[in-house]
Structure 1
Amino acid sequence: MNKDKRIEILTRLRDENPNPETELEYTSPFELLVAVTLSAQATDVSVNKATRKLFPVANTPEAIVALGVDGLKEYIKTIGLFNSKANNVVKLSQILVEQHNSEVPENREALEALPGVGRKTANVVLNCAFGWPTIAVDTHIFRVSNRTNFAKGKDVVEVEKKLDKVVPKEFKVDVHHWLILHGRYVCTARKPKCGSCLIEDLCEFKEKTDC
């Protein structure tokens, strides 16, 4: 895919949604960190249902530590892998209290050193909480990038590097939101809705559908 086509795709996505946001609900960097950690292999909808009950009770590192693993499990037991996630969230909260003055660090290495926090989670936190132009490649972005030929790669790291290279600076802060939402609602996994896609004429997917 050439540069002009990529810019037109991004321009159309921006025009449709000028101020995209994550669908995870949060009011602080710590709430976002917890929500993203809980969202691994789970839907944003399921995480939001749980955190709407959790955050009014515990939305600081100290409060999560006081709640404890068993207490936290009661709030997140509807989310997949809740046992390991409860352990990770309590441990990362303890580290934030002990090493970071209970603040979420604006630092990739420090974030990735936290239990349950990988590169994708760190990218989301840096982007959404601190405005960094990081691109968190999930299954939706991986699919859309490869299917459209926008940024092909054999794994998420390769796609992230390709996107970082080909996406112009003016689009970088918001691009992962546009691609996630496009993959979630239009360029869906089983059957993409090509007939109602605003970038269908620019997409290089060869097996387009009519829906």
Structure 2
Amino acid sequence: MNNTKRREILTRLRDDNPHPTTELNFSTPFELLVAVTLSAQSTDVGINKATDKLFPVANTAHAIAALGEDGLKEYIKTIGLFNSKAKNVHRLSEILVEKYDGEVPESREALEALPGVGRKTANVVLNTAFGWPTIAVDTHIYRVSNRTKLAMGKTVEKVEEKLLKVVPAEFKVDVHHWLILHGRYTCVARKPRCGACIIEDLCEFKDKTEYAE
């Protein structure tokens, strides 16, 4: 795919959704960090149901540290892997209290040193909470990038590397959200809704469908 076509794809996605953001409910960097850490192998809807109960009770590092691991489990037991996630979120809360006075550090190295926080989670927090031009590649972004040929790669790391290289600076802060939403609602895994896609004529996917419902 050439850069002219890439720019047009991104322009259309921007025009359709000028101010995209995550579908996880949050109001502070700490709430976002917790929600994203909990979201592995879970849906945003499921995470929001849990955090909508948790955050009114404990939405700071100090509060979750005080709540305790077992106390935290009671609020997140509806989500997958809640035992290990409770352990990680409780411990990262303790570390934030101990090292950063409860604040979320605006540092990739510091974030990735926290329990349960890998590169993708750090990218989401840096991007969505702090406005960094990072691109967190999940399964949706991996699929859309390869399927459209916007940025091809055999691993999520390679796709991230390619996106960072080919996406113009003006689009980098928001491209993560556009591609996730596009993959979640239009360019879905089993039967993409090509007939309802605003970039269908630019996409280089060979097996396009007419499905639009």
TM-score computed with the length of structure 1 as normaliser? 0.99
Query: Deviations 1:29-82 (Å, cap 9, x if unpaired)?
Result: 000000000001100000000000000000011110111111111110111110
Query: Deviations 1:133-152 (Å, cap 9, x if unpaired)?
Result: 00000000000000011100
SS in structure 1 of the partner of residue 68 of structure 2: helix
Equivalent residue number for residue 95 of structure 1:
95
Amino acid at match of 1:65: A
Amino acid at match of 1:37: T
Instruction: Provide the C-alpha distance between the structure 2 equivalents of 1:131 and 1:108, rounded to a whole number of angstroms.
Output: 13
**Structure 1: stretches of 5+ with no match in the other structure:** none
Equivalent residue number for residue 84 of structure 2:
84
Equivalent residue number for residue 156 of structure 1:
156
Equivalent residue number for residue 27 of structure 2:
27
Q: Percent identity at matched positions?
A: 78
Instruction: Provide the C-alpha distance between the structure 2 equivalents of 1:84 and 1:106, rounded to a whole number of angstroms.
Output: 25
Instruction: Provide the C-alpha distance between the structure 2 equivalents of 1:63 and 1:20, rounded to a whole number of angstroms.
Output: 30
TM-score computed with the length of structure 2 as normaliser? 0.99
Equivalent residue number for residue 192 of structure 1:
192
How many residue pairs end up in the alignment?
A: 211
Query: Deviations 1:103-128 (Å, cap 9, x if unpaired)?
Result: 00000000000000000000000000
Are 2:55 and 1:55 aligned? yes
Amino acid at match of 2:50: A
Amino acid at match of 1:56: P
Amino acid at match of 1:94: E
Instruction: Provide the C-alpha distance between the structure 2 equivalents of 1:128 and 1:198, rounded to a whole number of angstroms.
Output: 25
Are 2:201 and 1:201 aligned? yes
C-alpha displacement of 1:159 = 0.3
C-alpha displacement of 1:101 = 1.2
Report matched runs for 1:170-181 at 5 Å: 170-181=170-181
Equivalent residue number for residue 124 of structure 1:
124
Amino acid at match of 2:139: T
SS in structure 1 of the partner of residue 199 of structure 2: coil
Instruction: Provide the C-alpha distance between the structure 2 equivalents of 1:137 and 1:22, rounded to a whole number of angstroms.
Output: 13
Report matched runs for 1:105-144 at 5 Å: 105-144=105-144
Question: Deviation above 2 Å: which 4+ runs of structure 1?
Answer: none
